[in-house]
Amino acid sequence: MAATSVTGVYGFAGWLASFILYGFYLLWAFIPEEQLHALGITYYPSKYWALALPCYVLVALTSIVVGYCSLNMMDTSPLDSLDTLTDNFTRPSTVLHASRGEDGTIRTPAIGDLDIALVNSVLYGRQHSQFAAPAPT
């Protein structure tokens, strides 16, 4: 039998606790107050929070996602900026295709930035490339 890791035990305990707490939440939200009082449960939050808290969490998460996307859009250079072509962190790609290793396996090329002329020629053909040399006439 395999030894159980501490992380696995904590993960299972957290999973179990979340289901138990969710069950208590559903019971508190849907059982009428008269029945809760009959069971002897008199100290609990207002039923208002059964609906308000999930709404607040949903609005907060939506605001975080929209804010994150907005900050990224504000930080992005305009399309006509030269920073979209090259900047201080540009690493030109030296190998544009996969190669085979000594044992015959296919190797992934190193990570690098592609030249905009190459991208335009692949996507739109050489005649449409803004930065490519004009076609011979």
Residue 135 domain flag = no
Two tokens at 12? 């299972």
Dihedral (Cα; 67, 69, 73, 74), 10-degree rounding: 20
Residues in CB range of 90: below 8 A, 6 or more apart: 113
Q: Is the pLDDT of residue 23 over 70?
A: yes
Shared domain for 1 and 14, answered yes or no, is yes
Domain holding 60, by residue range, is 45-76
Mean pLDDT of 124-131: 58
Q: What is the pLDDT of residue 129?
A: 46
Shared domain for 27 and 11, answered yes or no, is yes
Kind and range of the H or E element at 106?
Answer: strand 106-107
Model pLDDT for residues 24-56, shown as the tens digit of each residue: 999 999 999 999 999 998 888 899 999 999 999
Shared domain for 66 and 87, answered yes or no, is no
Other C-beta atoms closer than 10 Å to the C-beta of 35 total 10
Q: Return d(Cα 112, Cα 92) in angstroms, integer.
A: 5
Q: Is the pLDDT of residue 101 over 90?
A: no
Residue 71 domain flag = yes
What is the count of structural domains for the chain? Answer: 3
* Residue among 59, 60, 57, 33 at smallest CA distance from 47: 33
Residue 134 domain flag = no
Mean pLDDT of 101-122: 77
pTM passes above 0.85: no
Shared domain for 1 and 39, answered yes or no, is yes
Residue 137 domain flag = no
